[in-house]
Structure 1
Amino acid sequence: MATRGGPQRKGGRPTPGKGRAGGAKPTPKPTPKRKPAPAPAAPVPAPPSGPFRLGAIPGATPGKWIDIWKTRMPRNPLELVPLTVAEQHAAFARGDVDAAIVRLPIDRDGLNVIPLYEETTVVVCATDSALTAADELTAEDLLGEVRIVPGDDVLSFDVAGTAEPRFAAPATTGEAVEIVATGVAIVLVPMSLARLHHRKDVTFRPLAEAPASAVALAWPAEGATELVDTFVGIVRGRTSNSSR
């Protein structure tokens, strides 16, 4: 039997009308706020193109630092500039080098200098010399020996009891070693120079209690470039990610 008021849904509730007056209106969704665009990163300036000019006195061994430079700075060539100890300071004044491995002492005016290492002083003598009987020599062992002091000598100290040669002193350590090979004299040098001028007919022995020879890295105190800062960092052991 039909119920008054027309058909009803199951449950007895009337079907709500669509768009019916007085019906609930949908809640509008809030407009999302736009995040401001991030500021563009500042461009990183490229390092100077180089080359980086590294001066080096005879006997210096910067090979490990140069290898690190080549790995870390492949687009910036390193140019090795040979220097004599006599001209090591003047090379900066002339602008020949950006930094240099130098032998101390050096005039530090206008330079930053950091010590690197000290070298043992050795006696270079002929292989058949009686001095080779000892593994280490003392000043007493050198009594009466003719000592050559070349024009480029870097030690500048006397050994009591040694004799001066009767011939003119050679200009260079290399020439002095040639004379030593004949057995007529000895020459005192830092160990690196003894190795640099090695010959089959000469050898060397450490000289006990002799002053050591110090080697350092120097660069201009003002106007140093980013390349100089990079090399100084390599020498000091900084990694590529280290801050200065």
Structure 2
Amino acid sequence: MQANYFAKKRMNALLYGALLMLITVVAIIITEYDVIKGFTSIPKAVEWTIQNFYPTEKAMKKLPTIIDSLIETVLVSIAATTVASVFALLFAILGSHTTGVGGVISMISRFIATIFRNIDVAAWSMILLFSFGQSVMTGYFALFFGSFGFLTRAFIESIDEVSNSSVEALRATGASYFSIIFQSVIPSSLPQLLSWILFMVETNIRQATLIGILTGTGIGFLFSLYYKGLNYSAASLVVCVIVVAIMLIEVISNYVRRVIL
């Protein structure tokens, strides 16, 4: 019996592997991608990067401007995430199986979250460009909508996982709906909710760079400006600053997670 189970698992793995290889080959044929040329061009790309893509003394003079743009990008990312988390918590409470009021309202809450979650932040940026143009507001709302969809789904799962037993206990004592929310659901799931918010802040800071290229704002715009102007040393400095900032924020985020979890 056990031997048949493992044989079936191996067969399924082989079938999925063969299907993946078939899809890959078909994609290569359709796109006319030259695999050999692609791999052989990697050493040349590395060589060009070493020779051209590094900060110089002249590029360091642009560091204050780059830092200012980085601060703007980080603040917009944090603002979009925190505001989105408030709305996400409201929709998560309504959509959760544990705390939701059920019926149409829970379905609508989950449906709205699903729509926002499945539209990429870059797509939101292009949609919002028609309304706000190339401005900080475009990047802010793109991050806000993307964060709202993701956090609503994450919050629903956290509330359902952590709060079920305590909610049932309070219901048995005759506690009101709002007492259950504020005395049980939020306190018991708060560490997980904060962890998801910190994760979203890290993600949004990374995505804000791409959004800045599309919206003409923040540090992403500076990178695009320097790179298109063939100022590769300044563009490389932007990349270095972004990497250092992301690593620093990740260290802070991991420390906060260890404290609250």
Q: Structure 1 length normalisation: TM-score?
A: 0.26
Q: Structure 2 length normalisation: TM-score?
A: 0.25
More helix by share: 2
